[in-house]
Chain A
């Protein structure tokens, strides 16, 4: 570990740039967010301590709870649907088939697309007057869907676009994770008479759990935070606040409605949520390592 014992101060110098950035632009602003969350900000910038009131009001607000519920449904869909599709594709591309390497590369590219780009592309597909999806659905069912007025259509639009934009990244990680599963373990299961299906659930899937946990974390971060651009550009939180997810509400309350204290309380709670998911991820990956020793 200590390969250069005579340089006592150098390592501090080496970590200083990163640590300085973390302190100045992460820890301090986050500390201020916590501080702010216990205050009301007057239009002139004066702070008034209000104790826990911002938090109490937040959890009592039906608007907030509605936003919370929708964010959770959105996250579960993005994670559940997105990871399932990605895992299926990753499993297929890691079979012994010709062109496996080609397929693995060919799916990566959606990673380079931004949420806004995905949102714009999919809003064309869902466009009420010329969108292919809208036309297909209306000719098949007789119902016309319009994401400007129909909350379900808008929700579907942002979910589809999100699953699509995360697909490349998810597949890439699953492929890497699958390639790390030792082949001997699968062979052992086959020799014991397990079917392909059983082998997957007993050997492959548990061995994959650190990758899955990591992807659940990354996709949660996406659903909580990065989806912002898509929402801001395509739906503006509507219709009827159906896509006003937590991050979008923070932005609106903090910058649009100038309720900085309330918005700060919301961001602190959002941090708690993401920290819980992160802790579960770390726990899953470390427990896994111990289990296999």
Chain B
């Protein structure tokens, strides 16, 4: 019994220490953002927050035109998440509720997306977008992302567990497949929808390589590029308090989405791991 208590205390101790260690970079960034330029450089470093947070946030906001960046990132993240959710629900519905020719070929094809991340096709994709005059448009930043392996797997796993009688009953009652999907299956799928929303919103908000290549116009830039601009311009001037204030603004939206839907996200992941 004694041994068990020691073990429990030890477990808590290790977990708390690791939690603090993992949170430290974030805390340090936050503390930086609350100081004046001078205090940020104090030695030994000041590790408690100062009172300049609001001023620094305002300064960072103005320097990189933050309003525009956040708007762009929000638009593409929401549109891509929505597109991926709709497209993968439709595909997963087809793969689980119908027998059709080409099924054996089309399902693996959808799994292939995982193997071809954007970077391995970035050069031809750029040429294609240039030919279509899609560069510097929201189209280029959203439509190429609409297919989702994760989404199809997630909804497929779930639809396979839905009892067959439900569809049979709906059919006997004369419901069309689309009505069944809309009125019965979709209301059951909200956990998965929320999980996928988190996954894709976070993914798209944090996407950098393609937005960096596909946009050059200042008013089409996204938040991650804004952080780069702030970082490269202010690091020379060593204005860490401004950089970190900008960082806090930019990391907040995906963090909020994750915190709101954390349970659904965890459940979605649990569903992905069960075969």
Q: Report A's interface with B, CB cutoff 8 A.
A: 1-5, 7-8, 10-12, 14-15, 17-19, 21-22, 25-30, 32-33, 36, 89, 92-93, 95, 97, 99, 103-118, 120-122, 124-125, 127, 129-130, 132, 135, 164, 167, 172-173, 175-177, 179-180, 210-211, 214, 221, 224-225, 228-229, 232-234, 247, 250-251, 254-255, 260, 263-264, 267-268, 270-271, 274-275, 278, 285, 289
Interface class of chain A by DSSP: helix
Question: Which one of B128, B208, B232 lies within 8 Å of A229 (CB-CB)?
Answer: B208
Alpha-carbon distance between A196 and B202 when the two chains are bound, in angstroms: 38
Q: Which positions 18-54 of chain B face chain A at CB distance < 8 Å? A: 18-19, 22, 25-26, 28-29, 32, 40-41, 43, 45
Are B90 and A15 closer than 8 Å at their CB atoms? yes
Give min CB distance, A91 to chain B, whole Å: 10
Whether, in the assembled complex, B146 has its beta carbon less than 8 Å from a beta carbon of chain A, the answer is: yes
Task: Identify 14 residue pairs between A and B in the complex whose beta-carbon atoms are under 8 Å apart, listed by A's number.
Answer: A12-B100, A18-B147, A22-B147, A26-B116, A33-B121, A89-B15, A107-B22, A113-B251, A115-B208, A116-B208, A127-B240, A176-B266, A270-B119, A274-B117
Which of B60-68, B186-194, B257-265 forms part of the interface with chain A? B257-265
Are A108 and B262 closer than 8 Å at their CB atoms? yes
Are B120 and A108 closer than 8 Å at their CB atoms? no
Find chain B residues with CB under 8 A from A177 CB: 273
Alpha-carbon distance between A147 and B145 when the two chains are bound, in angstroms: 35
Alpha-carbon distance between A122 and B152 when the two chains are bound, in angstroms: 35
Are A17 and B90 closer than 8 Å at their CB atoms? yes
Are B128 and A167 closer than 8 Å at their CB atoms? no
Give 1 or 0 for each of B94-131: 1 = CB within 8 Å of chain A CB: 11111110110010011011111111111111111000
Whether, in the assembled complex, B141 has its beta carbon less than 8 Å from a beta carbon of chain A, the answer is: no
Whether, in the assembled complex, B220 has its beta carbon less than 8 Å from a beta carbon of chain A, the answer is: no
Are A104 and B266 closer than 8 Å at their CB atoms? yes
Query: Which residue of A is nearest B117, CB measured?
Result: A225
Find chain A residues with CB under 8 A from B209 CB: 225, 228-229, 247, 251
Are B177 and A114 closer than 8 Å at their CB atoms? no
Alpha-carbon distance between A271 and B123 when the two chains are bound, in angstroms: 14
Give min CB distance, A159 to chain B, whole Å: 14
Question: Which one of A17, A105, A121, A175 lies within 8 Å of B247 (CB-CB)?
Answer: A121
20 further interface pairs, Cβ-Cβ under 8 Å (given A109-B255, A130-B43, A254-B123): A15-B95, A18-B90, A18-B147, A19-B91, A25-B144, A30-B124, A36-B124, A112-B258, A113-B254, A114-B205, A116-B228, A120-B244, A121-B26, A127-B240, A176-B269, A210-B275, A229-B206, A233-B228, A255-B126, A260-B123
Find chain A residues with CB under 8 A from B110 CB: 15, 18-19, 22
Are B87 and A21 closer than 8 Å at their CB atoms? yes
Number of interface residues of B (CB under 8 A): 99
Query: Which residue of A is nearest B144, CB measured?
Result: A25
Q: Report B's interface with A, CB cutoff 8 A.
A: 8, 11-12, 14-15, 18-19, 22, 25-26, 28-29, 32, 40-41, 43, 45, 86-88, 90-91, 93-100, 102-103, 106, 109-110, 112-128, 143-144, 146-148, 152, 164, 167-168, 171, 176-178, 180, 202, 205-206, 208-209, 212-213, 224, 227-228, 231-232, 238, 240, 243-244, 247, 250-251, 254-255, 257-259, 262, 265-266, 269-270, 272-275
Query: Which residue of B is nearest A266, CB measured?
Result: B120
- The 5 A-B residue pairs whose C-beta atoms are closest, nearest first, are A114-B206, A229-B208, A32-B124, A14-B94, A29-B121
Alpha-carbon distance between A170 and B218 when the two chains are bound, in angstroms: 36
Find chain B residues with CB under 8 A from A285 CB: 275
Give min CB distance, B163 to chain A, whole Å: 11
Are B109 and A19 closer than 8 Å at their CB atoms? yes
Alpha-carbon distance between A135 and B103 when the two chains are bound, in angstroms: 60
Give min CB distance, A208 to chain B, whole Å: 10
Question: Which one of B19, B167, B180, B213 lies within 8 Å of A255 (CB-CB)?
Answer: B213
Given contacts A4-B97, A22-B109, contact A97 B90 (CB under 8 A): no
Question: Which one of A32, A110, A180 lies within 8 Å of B273 (CB-CB)?
Answer: A180
Given contacts A26-B121, A97-B12, A132-B28, contact A21 B177 (CB under 8 A): no
Question: Which one of B11, B18, B118, B250 lies within 8 Å of A95 (CB-CB)?
Answer: B11
Query: Which residue of B is nearest A37, CB measured?
Result: B123
Find chain B residues with CB under 8 A from A107 CB: 19, 22
Are A17 and B240 closer than 8 Å at their CB atoms? no
Find chain B residues with CB under 8 A from A117 CB: 206, 227, 247, 250-251
Question: Which one of A8, A116, A214 lies within 8 Å of B224 (CB-CB)?
Answer: A116
